[in-house]
Every structure is written in structure tokens, then in C-alpha cells.
């Protein structure tokens, strides 16, 4: 890692592993920007969409009917109201990639999700983190954060894992949970959230001195 003023940490995470909290606390500790919804906000402006409409597709592969709607826009045989605009996942990824690269050039930041580790893989001032945890640990956090039943929390866990894995595979061609894609993989249920934050900060310091 080059010793420049702008350092970037990308965090890929399983839902319930503490990714957002770890990122927020790291940003405070290191005096970095915390970047998550900012990406959606900027991308929504690029597409002239409402943030909530774009967020509903965040890190997800489209369903069959969404894919059909996207492909139908280009078909002269299918009528759609003129106000309908559905950008493809590839188009969203391209715009978000440029936003992430722009942030990396502009300031030191913690960037959450959205294939940031892949987008910035050639950036010498970037380290990539993958946070995972045991299912029971994740399910408990999901249940408490979203006020869900055990059954609902388990369903959310499985659905999120499936969506993020398919999204990452579609847009990068690589398995989401493949450890070789990341500089550091941490089991937050084994190490603990606080110790995970310290380990990432220490890793950044080590990389910065190389």
C-alpha cells in the first residue's frame, strides 16, 4: 500500500455479521468517511430515480418479471407507458462503480458492499474485508435489529445470502464468499465485534507502512 493521504477499506459482509456497525465505528476511529447510502443517493440522481426505488434493487439480482420488464423496454412489440424506466443491473453497477472510484480518489473512506472490493481491486491504497459469522449469532442480531421472530430472521438471513451471492457472481464472475478475493476475512462471532474493529484498524496500519 502506498503511503498517501487517501486510504480505502471496503467491507463485504453477511447480513447479521455486524458489517454496518463495524464500518461506522471504524470510520469514527480512523476519521474516515462512512459510505453506504451515499452511493444509492448519487446513483439515483444519475438515473433520475427515487432513492427508495433504487434501494429496493440494492445488491440484488432481478426477479424473472423484472428481467422481462427490462428486456421488453427494447422490444417494439411490447407497449409500456412512457414514464417507465428500469435500468439493468449492469447499468446500475457501472454507475455505482464510477461513484465508488470517485470517492476513493476524493477522500479516505469505509465503503460498504456493492462489490467495492472488486471495483477497487487494483487500487494500491485499498484493503478489502469480508465479515462473516455463525448462523445463530447472525440470526440473533437480525432478530433484535429488525424486531423479527426466529422464523422471520432465519428467512431474512437465507434470502440475503442468496441475493448477495447471485448479485456478486453476476457482476464480477466470482463467488461472493471466496476468501481469495479479500485481504482479510473475519468471523465476527468468534473474534467479537470490538476486536474485529481493532484488527481491521491494525491491518490498515500494517499495510500503510509497507
CATH number at residue 181: 3.40.50.300
Instruction: Tell me whether residue 71 is in a domain.
Output: no
Q: Is the pLDDT reported for residue 209 higher than 50?
A: yes
Percent of the chain with pLDDT over 70: 86
112 and 13 in contact (C-beta within 8 Å)? Answer: yes
For residue 131, pLDDT beyond 60: yes
CA angle 135, 140, 146 (to 5 degrees): 120
Q: Are 110 and 27 in contact (CB under 8 A)?
A: yes
Whether residue 136 is contained in a domain is answered as: yes
62, pLDDT greater than 80: no
pLDDT beyond 50 at 35: yes
Residue 182 scores a pLDDT above 70: yes
pLDDT score of 93: 94
Average pLDDT over residues 99-110: 97
DSSP 8-state symbol, 120: T
Say if 31 falls within a structural domain.
yes
> How many domains does the chain divide into?
1
Which DSSP state fits 32?
P
User: The domain containing residue 36 runs over which residues?
Assistant: 8-59+89-208
Q: What pTM was computed for the model? A: 0.87
Whether 72 is covered by a domain: the verdict is: no
Query: Which secondary structure element, helix H or strand E, spans residue 12, and what is its range?
Result: strand 8-13
Q: Which three cell numbers stand for residue 25?
A: 465505528
| Mean pLDDT on 168-190 | 96
Rg (CA), the chain: 18
Q: What is the pLDDT of residue 83?
A: 52
* Domain assignment of residue 2, yes or no: no
**Per-residue model confidence (pLDDT) at position 77:** 54
Structural domain contains residue 84: no
Amino acid at each position: 500500500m502506498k503511503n498517501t493521504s487517501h486510504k480505502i477499506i471496503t467491507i463485504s459482509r453477511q447480513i447479521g455479521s455486524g458489517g454496518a456497525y463495524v464500518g461506522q465505528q471504524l470510520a469514527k476511529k480512523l476519521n474516515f468517511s462512512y459510505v453506504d447510502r451515499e452511493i444509492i443517493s448519487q446513483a439515483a440522481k444519475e438515473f433520475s430515480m427515487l432513492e427508495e426505488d433504487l434501494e429496493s434493487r440494492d445488491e440484488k439480482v432481478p426477479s424473472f418479471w423484472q428481467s422481462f420488464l427490462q428486456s421488453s423496454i427494447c422490444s417494439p412489440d411490447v407497449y409500456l407507458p412512457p414514464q417507465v424506466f428500469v435500468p439493468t443491473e449492469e447499468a446500475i453497477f457501472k454507475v455505482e462503480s464510477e461513484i465508488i472510484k470517485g470517492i476513493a480518489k476524493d477522500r479516505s473512506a469505509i465503503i460498504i458492499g456493492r462489490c467495492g472490493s472488486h471495483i477497487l481491486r487494483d487500487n494500491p491504497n485499498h484493503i478489502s474485508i469480508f465479515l462473516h459469522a455463525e448462523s445463530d449469532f447472525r440470526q440473533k442480531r437480525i432478530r433484535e435489529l429488525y424486531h423479527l421472530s426466529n422464523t422471520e430472521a432465519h428467512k431474512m438471513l437465507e434470502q440475503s445470502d442468496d441475493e448477495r451471492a447471485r448479485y456478486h457472481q453476476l457482476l464480477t464472475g466470482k463467488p461472493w464468499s471466496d476468501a481469495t478475493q479479500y485481504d482479510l476475512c473475519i468471523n465476527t462471532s468468534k473474534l467479537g465485534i470490538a476486536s474485529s474493529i481493532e484488527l481491521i484498524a491494525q491491518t490498515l496500519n500494517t499495510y500503510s507502512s509497507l
